[in-house]
Amino acid sequence: MTASPTDLGNFIGGSLAASKSPGFGDVFNPSSGEVIARVPFSTALDVDDAVANAREAFSAWGEAPAPRRAGILFRYKELLEAHFPELTRLVTLENGKTLAESEGDVRRGIEVVEFACGAAHLLKGESLPQISKEIDACSTREPLGVCAGITPFNFPAMVPMWMFPLAVACGNTFVLKPSEKVPQTAMRFAGLFLEAGGPPGVLNVVNGGREVVERLCTHPDIAAVSFVGSSHVAERVYQLGCQHGKRVQAAGGAKNVMVVMPDANPDSTLRAIMGAAFGCAGQRCMAGSIVLGIGEAAAGITKRLREAVGAMKVLPTDTCPESEMGPVIDAAARDRLLASIAAAESEGARIAADGRSRTLPDRGFFVGPTLLDGVTPDMNVASAELFGPVLSIGCPENLDDAIEWIHASGYGNGAVIFTQNGAAARKFVREAACGMIGVNVGVPAPMAVFSFSGWNKSFYGDLHVQGSEGISFYTRQKV
């Protein structure tokens, strides 16, 4: 018998709080299609309550010594480690990732917390004695105040932890608006932060949709807004936040290219491409969306990929630990992807592996891994972000043409090259206009000590998430 869905609320001022809105939306288990919770569509008044609590907490938290803040984050990391199995299961339940992918999601988030534990070193100011006769100069880094984060469904653990651990380590307080499709992970994070000793009001969670987002971007007491999601919404959040005097970092979508040179190692390259394209069911902004075979590499790449795709185990992730790829997030995403595959076929792409026709689970939101061969730069599928398990295959004549494919999309998140030739690798690294470049790796996503450096339509703002840029974003200088 299926349990009744849980009605969620918000987490404000250190405790659970019912939303002022009577409206709720369904949270699904993507593997089964069952409703597992109901999330409130909170109002601007709920945001106001959260910001008021965060503002009140800031007066003491911003003055707390950096080592004390770090001590709470150390205890928080210990709790995250202790609850690691629970958190990974929760991510799988509400997002649909395989257990291994959920473990990676939570682990990468914990790594940001670990980085934030040492933030005091990066919060140090600078000094220069005798800058003029009998005059010394020094600078300090000061917290901003109340900060906000708006996060997507595809990484329920990692992306929120790109934001709030660094923000609170710098002395700010935080209001998090997670995706309404995966709210339970964020709510659990807030509870564990309180258990670690985080003062009430330092970390708050407000669930909801557009009304919450727009209030966070316009509230006069919010100093900075962090966003991760589609480029269309990222641009809107950036514009709205800036119009209201806020510091904004808004990471958007991508169309990431993987270039295979004739000398690439065939086995390791195939493994890397499969992981990049179909890991997390292709629902990530660093997914490999297009593979470009150069010269002799083009000849056998489709055949090898078709064989690998055909052997993939696409199963419910909540009950089948052997699953190699899970569902997409909901029925709307599934239907959109099926329509995109049909549209690509109508504009001339050849279906080398059709995820629509393979045997899939009867329940849940599944799209089989799909290969689109013969894709050319003028096709819409060559530049549109599909955000699902669909890999396009193209055959440019040379490396210069492949680099032009990258530039034509207008995005600038990631690009990778597979080669054993140092000159080709160096040319690619130098000339590809993307913020994150990989050589013989499928997904060039940086670790927590480096910033997540999207370019062009993949990012709106000046200072990126994570790393030293994350510290700079959540502080301002006093000289």
Give the active site residues. 285
Closest to 248 measured CA to CA, from 240, 257, 258, 238: 238
Q: Residue 66, class by beta-carbon neighbours within 10 Å (0-12 exposed, 13-18 middle, 19+ buried)?
A: middle
**203, amino acid identity:** L
Q: Please give the Cα distance from 53 to 13 (Å, whole number).
A: 5
Written as one letter, the residue type at 458 is S
Handedness of CA 42, 47, 48, 49 (dihedral sign): positive
Task: Decide if 252 contacts 358 (C-beta within 8 A).
Answer: no
In which residue are the tokens 């502080």 written? 475
Q: What tokens appear for 441 in the block?
A: 């790796």
Long-range contacts of 42-45 (CB under 8 A, 24+ apart): 42/10, 42/206, 42/207, 42/208, 42/211, 42/212, 43/19, 43/208, 43/211, 43/212, 44/211, 44/212, 44/214, 44/215, 45/20
| Sign of the alpha-carbon torsion through 16, 22, 23, 24 | positive
Look at residues 336, 340, 337, 369 and name the one whose alpha carbon lies nearest to residue 355: 369
How far is it, in rounded angstroms, from Cα 114 to Cα 453? Answer: 20
